[in-house]
Amino acid sequence: MPRNNVPLIPDDAINSRAAVPATEDPDDALDSRLLDLDVEEEPAFLRGQKRVPVRRGPLPRKAANRLKIALIVVAIAAVFGAITMMTYRYGAQSWRFRLDSSDQLEISGIRHVTRAQVMDVMGGDIGRNVFFIPLDERRKQLEEIPWVESASVMRLLPNRLQIGIRERTPVAFVQVGSKIALIDGNGVVMDLPAAAARKYSFPVIVGMGVSEPLSTRAARMKLFCRVLHDLDSGGANYSRDLSEVDLGDPEDVKVTVADPNGEVLVHLGSSEYLERFKVYVAHVQEWRQQFQKVHSVDLRYDRQVIVNPDDNNPPQARSVAKPSGTKPRRRARR
């Protein structure tokens, strides 16, 4: 029996304790064991994770974004609409935009058109707001004035109007009935300007009726311009010798020459105006020596000239001359 009942320690236990290195810290061994416990082995098979239900709104996300954009656009439009309405009310009701007097009308380009004629059109707008004056309608009314070829009406804020007038260019005097007026290349008849206005030196056009439409007068004026262009071509400048041009018959244009020895009515027909007028210029003195009086000359026929065909004498009293150097009438090309 051992003493004092002390149990005996087996030898292999002593040997195992002796095998533990003396340098190993017991705390380090404990930490390593704890680390081994934290590392879990990956399972060999993965299980599907359970999905957590997500709470959704009443509208899809895409529809919600569109609705948000639409609300923003509506809000911006409402703001701009309010600003526009306020601006409109201010422009329509403010005294700053009222045309108070005729001094606020700036009129340019008038020479023969009087300010009174312009005020007949624009006078009713005095006292109105400039934004409520119909500019296009006023422009058309101004262009109805005979001397006005074109007009423009513009607003100059806050309370002025600018009126620009472009007047017509007359090319001849015209006798319509018992009235003498001016006429432009488009057949528009204008009243003679005041005595202080520019003086014109034009031939007088006869043969136009009082009730002729503008289209007929425009065609006659086209013929008139062609006759003058032919007589002045090549530097001839014969149109300055004309006192009247009769356009009553387009097939027989008649011109009155202001000769110092007496006016002569010359029939030029419907073509070759320059060539026929040159025949008159070359032989008028010869005819004056041959005949007692030369009132008119007809140059419409080939290689012959009829002197005084417009006299009231019987036909047998008419004289026929065949001047040398005249050319036969050429046929018009088709």
Residues 32-46: tens digit of each pLDDT:
555 555 555 555 555
Distances 270 to 195, 224, 323 between C-alpha atoms, Å: 37, 11, 21
Whether residue 311 is predicted with pLDDT greater than 80 in this model: the reply is: no
pLDDT at 2 over 80: no
The conformation of residue 213, written as its DSSP 8-state character, comes to -
Residue 20: what pLDDT?
47
What tens digit of pLDDT does each residue of 61-111 get?
888 788 888 888 988 988 888 888 877 776 677 878 899 999 999 999 999
More confident residue, 49 or 106: 106
Whether the model pTM is above 0.75: no
- The whole-number pLDDT of residue 333 equals 32
Sorting pLDDT into bands at 50, 70 and 90, what band is 226? very high
pLDDT at 261 over 90: no
Q: Which long-range contacts (CB under 8 A, 24 or more apart) does 129-135 make?
A: 129/91, 129/92, 129/97, 129/98, 129/99, 130/97, 130/98, 130/99, 130/155, 130/157, 130/158, 130/159, 130/160, 130/161, 131/91, 131/92, 131/97, 131/155, 132/92, 133/99, 133/161
Tokens of 163: 């009126």
